[in-house]
Amino acid sequence: MPETLTVDKYGMQAALKALGLKEINEGTSTGSNNFGGGETISSYSPTDGALIGKVTTTTKEDYEKVMHAATSAFLEFRKMPAPQRGEIVRQFGNKLRELKEPLGKLVSYEMGKSLQEGYGEVQEMIDICDFAVGLSRQLNGQTIPSERPGHVMREQWHSIGVVGIISAFNFPVAVWAWNTALAWICGDVCVWKGSEKAPICSVACQNIIAEILKENNLPEGISCIINGDYKVGEMMTTDERIPLVSATGSTRMGRIVGATVAQRFGKSLLELGGNNAIIITPTADLKVVVPGAVFGAVGTAGQRCTSTRRLIIHESVYDKVKDAIVGAYGQLTIGNPLDEKNHIGPLIDTDAVSLYLAAIEKAKAEGGNVLVDGGVLEGEGYESGCYVKPAIIEAENHFEIVQSETFAPILYLMKYSGDVENAIATQNGVAQGLSSAIMTNEMKEAEKFLSFAGSDCGIANVNIGTSGAEIGGAFGGEKETGGGRESGSDAWKVYMRRQTNTVNYSDELPLAQGIKFDL
């Protein structure tokens, strides 16, 4: 694996410079507000194996400095009126507009997703900033009728404090923005542990917001980053000074985080694994089915929590749909994600490749029939060892490998017969409950899928795929997906604490429920 990028093929030097980072060959320092004095993490691009840069991990002593900065900043920031906090977020969003190209390019290069998806991820950051700015004038409570004369009851919301954020490599910047944009307008401050597999992205984001805070004469502790593996994350999950931990990652990780935070009576917002299916009914339109299923399965090389893992196809159209999907796979191009002609980039690292290969072998051993062969690509352009071929396997829903989430482009095809209720039962027949979809032109089928007896997922779509959520809707899932909700709708409430107020403006003190207590 090469250790430095000797030729700047993709304009990455200019991109890093625009983001306040050193050149690739020099490594990358973390910039302001890092306090990292531990071991070094080297970030290599799965695109070509080159060293992007290095960051230092956060020690316990460093962490205490970060928490001192954050808790002190909160005492000041919470006093700022919410619309003024929204103005800070507006400036941050505008700065992201200016830096969309270099930041999107860095996301693509460090994580391996296509350049279009890298730009799209930054656009999500911009969108959530726009959403949060408007929301900063709508953090509404309510007035509640009191049963006592001369009394009024109100409900209001207050800032919660320090929000700890743990994000995953597959969306190295957007998920952080989903949390921070809302937390900031709510008056909270944030401490972020980005993925150790994409640490340069978190440094770039910190540089951007640090500049905004400095320009507005605000404490940098409003936004802090820490670096490292799960041991650094444990510093947050066990810290009673952090009332809310928002964690994105595997179900295994979520079990640990959820239990640890609950033990100290903190709150956790968990966005965990997905095992998402598309039901394809006899009336489905192939012009909608094929792009929805293919992008859902191979977008981000199958490394989205909303990636399509299963196609549940009615037996009457099974062969037609199968042939169309297999034919579409033959048109996919795999290669450098910074080349917009390519549909699919690499997996994040060689460990992910090993899991991908093991999953294919497991599916075969359980009786799966391979329709499109997988495998690792070799040769010119694939030197990093992280490029793999998307695979399609006919399988049964009860297979152990189908029941688990593999973060790779493996799509399982299975048949259903009879009514759509049978397909819904199959769709729900996994432990995860994030995203789901049905392809149908039959209104009754669509409504059954969306009913209380339909999909048990947090996201249920009709005639679109399982991935590609919009900012305006709350994002999250049920069962082993964790139950958290981020982004739109009323997801802001998790970043605040609710308070009920009762005001007596009479000259008497009547008690609730008509209780008499005469002195």
Catalytic residues: 271, 305
Euclidean distance between CA atoms 53 and 3, whole angstroms: 10
Buried b (16+ CB within 10 A) or exposed e, 338-363: beeebbbbbbbbbebbeebbebbebb
Euclidean distance between CA atoms 391 and 412, whole angstroms: 9
| Spatial contact of 153 and 501, defined as CB atoms under 8 Å apart | yes
Residues 6+ apart with CB under 8 A from 22: 16, 28, 29, 53
Token output for 312: 């549940």
What is the DSSP-derived secondary structure letter of residue 388?
A: B
Euclidean distance between CA atoms 519 and 509, whole angstroms: 12
| Spatial contact of 276 and 296, defined as CB atoms under 8 Å apart | yes
Q: Where are the alpha helices (DSSP H) in 78-114?
A: 82-98, 100-111
In the sheet that holds 151-159, the strands lie side by side as 142-144, 151-159, 496-504
Closest CA to 384 of 334, 316, 437: 334
Q: Where are the alpha helices (DSSP H) in 136-250?
A: 174-185, 199-215, 230-237
